[in-house]
Amino acid sequence: MARTIPDITLNDGNTIPQLGFGVFQIEPKDTVAAVRKALEVGYRHVDTAQMYGNEAEVGQAIREAGLDRDEVFVTSKLNNAFHRPDDARAAFESTLSALRTDHLDLFLIHWPLPTRYDGDFVSTWQVLEEFRRDGRARSIGVSNFQVPHLERLAAETDVVPAVNQVEAHPYFGNEQVRAYGAAHDIRTEAWSPIAQGRVLTDPVIVDIAEQVGRTPAQVVLRWHVQRGDIVFPKSTTPQRIEENFRIFDFTLDDATMERITGLDRGPAGRQGSDPDTFDYIPA
Ligand code: NDP
């Protein structure tokens, strides 16, 4: 299938495909098949993390697909257990060796963990700046950062994150964080873009899907890309992996976009954890 995915230009001049493939909660044993299917369909961007436990299998799938490393945009994220600078350096090396690559396209601080490490995510960010300087991370960014966290990085560090990967979907628009990003040239990546399936049976989404002759997942993913966000839906179902890729050959009009945006339930609509209090550290 021809590649049809738009590239988004980041604040450091690098580009990222606006649609990717997420691998959270894909068992290592299922990861090679899922990622190979996604690459076969045409995805050229994979979002993994050390905490997902499947970086090695993502790397294996890319090699088995016969693609050059530079044909696929690969993101990974720092394990919550390794925010201290020396730990972060070692964790980044483990990520590179698991993926069997000498660089990442994008490396993120997975969570700010403001109640851990004496609230110091600044020195962790400065270590990511080193990875960018030495070229092993082409772009660096953050994930689950709230506005005060981003303000603190702006005040105390040199590099503006290229992206902030946060929860966003029709039930939780995360508008304040998105607005801060838009104002400061930080691209928003929307995680759990279909709220792990929860929004797909919403009567408004189902109604729109019928009107435009698309599936509920395609409608919701299309809404994200028209908002300008980067998305990487996860699926281990081959037919859904294909379905989620076919979102660049139709458009939603302004009234339809507003109907979907109107489903926002504020913080009550969150599917995942609140970054201000989330403090999980793997054993
Ligand atoms: P998603 O919103 O992508 O939803 C995935 C779920 O929806 C799965 O159960 C999947 O089922 C189902 N699904 C996928 N496509 C369809 C479809 N077309 N129709 C019906 N059901 C469908 O959830 P995720 O939480 O996985 O988020 C996506 C990615 O975001 C993650 O994989 C990860 O890369 C990233 N993420 C990042 C976080 C962070 O803290 N930075 C936190 C959470 C996610 P099935 O697989 O059975 O087909």
pLDDT tens-digit map of 49-72: 999 999 999 999 999 999 999 999
Asked if 50 and 79 touch (Cβ cutoff 8 Å), the reply is yes
Fold observed for domain 7-193+228-234:
TIM Barrel (3.20.20)
CA of 21 to the centre of ligand 1 (A): 9
Is the pLDDT at 1 greater than 90? The verdict is: no
CA distance 186 to 133: 19
What pLDDT score does 4 carry?
Answer: 85
Confidence of residue 203 (pLDDT cuts 50, 70, 90): very high
Q: Which atom of ligand 1 is nearest to the CA of 191?
A: 30
Residue closest by Cα to atom 29 of ligand 1: 22
Asked if 242 and 41 touch (Cβ cutoff 8 Å), the reply is yes
Look at residue 237 and give its three-state secondary structure: coil
Which residue among 191, 202, 223, 244 has the greatest number of ligand 1 atoms within 8 angstroms of its CB, and so is best to mutate?
Answer: 191
Mean pLDDT of 231-239: 98
CA distance 52 to 268: 26
Domain boundaries, the chain: 7-193+228-234
Is the pLDDT at 3 greater than 60? The verdict is: no
pLDDT digits (tens, 9 = 90+) for 120-171: 999 999 999 999 999 999 999 999 999 999 999 999 999 999 999 999 999 9
188 DSSP β-pair partners: 164
Taken in order 32, 112, 221, 231, is the CA torsion positive or negative?
negative
Mean pLDDT of 22-47: 98
Is the pLDDT at 22 greater than 90? The verdict is: yes
Residues in contact with ligand 1 (CB, 6 Å cut-off)? 22-25, 47, 110, 143-144, 165, 191-197, 200, 217, 232-237, 240, 243-244, 272
Mean pLDDT of 206-232: 98
Asked if 65 and 36 touch (Cβ cutoff 8 Å), the reply is yes
CA of 235 to the centre of ligand 1 (A): 6
Strand 45-47: give its sheet, edge to edge: 21-22, 45-47, 73-78, 104-109, 137-143, 163-167, 187-191, 230-231
